[in-house]
Amino acid sequence: MSLTYEERRETILGQLGMEGKVRVHMLAEMFGVSTETIRRDLDRLEKEGKLRKVYGGAVRVRSGFTEPTFTNRSLMHRSEKQEIGKLAASLIEDGETVLLDNGTTTLEIMRNVMERPQVTVITNSVPILNLALEGFRGKIVFAGGEINPEHQAATGMISHELLDRFKVNKAFISAGGISLTDGITDYHLEEALLSRKMIERTEEAILVADHSKFGVTTFAQIAPLTQISMVVTDAGCSREWIDALKQLDIEIISGEARL
């Protein structure tokens, strides 16, 4: 018995969420229906605002290239970010040096290491630096460079040269989007390049991201998913994404469990 439109719809949207695109002929073969049926399905989904049709198939409606302000982002999925920050901080051992890139989730990590004098944090994030100056008992190193007031981060050649002087235990990387095909992405090229440099300068790269970032592609690639060893996320991360990350031999920490 052939699947209904609603059943095909869920599968199509699921594939878009994982891969970012679908092909008409592949879907027709998968569902055992004509290409005309699939094209009608894609027409309906496009009218619903779920995808954008392209030659031979469709692509996910992108979240856009304009990032909300840092303040607005800090209010989005706030409880999930707080949970992730606590989990990620628990991975930091006394005596370690860690890198925190510029993100509202990495800011939550900083909140959870404030009372730990044996931890050294290196960051390019102005909000993380400001929080550390409020009473961090460990050591803070600012990867200074050209500071963008809007993004509240230091970037550029000076920041890269400073990071080249360090080799750290762990780097915690935030993301604008996470995709199987496009990898870890950010909204801003200069910040993406600096996060990539942090991955190069660490023994272990850990991605910290709430569930809303999965299946999303933003402007500039930070790195392929294969360059990280662990993902710390919240309980809203889908089973499909957990399985996909496992297939890449990436450890997942979600909620209180290691998966």
pLDDT bucket at 251, cuts 50 / 70 / 90: very high
| Separation CA 257–CA 226 (nearest Å) | 22
Q: Is the pLDDT reported for residue 2 higher than 90?
A: no
pLDDT for res 62: 62
Q: Is the pLDDT reported for residue 108 higher than 90?
A: yes
Average pLDDT over residues 31-50: 90
The string of pLDDT tens digits covering residues 149-206 is 888 999 999 999 999 999 999 999 999 999 988 899 999 999 999 999 999 999 999 9
Q: Out of 8-12, 110-114, 126-130, pick the least confident.
A: 8-12
Q: Is the pLDDT reported for residue 3 higher than 80?
A: yes
Q: Is the pLDDT reported for residue 209 higher than 80?
A: yes
pLDDT bucket at 63, cuts 50 / 70 / 90: low
Q: Is the pLDDT reported for residue 8 higher than 60?
A: yes
pLDDT for res 66: 53
pLDDT for res 257: 61
**CATH 1.10.1130.10 is the classification of domain 70-258:** no
Strand 257-258 and strand 251-254: the pairing is: antiparallel
- Name the residue ranges covered by the structural domains of the chain: 5-60, 70-258
| Separation CA 185–CA 164 (nearest Å) | 22
| Separation CA 35–CA 91 (nearest Å) | 49
| Separation CA 2–CA 79 (nearest Å) | 42
Among the four given CATH numbers 3.20.20.100, 1.10.10.10, 1.20.1560.10, 3.40.1080.10, the one describing domain 5-60: 1.10.10.10
Average pLDDT over residues 196-218: 94
pLDDT for res 172: 98
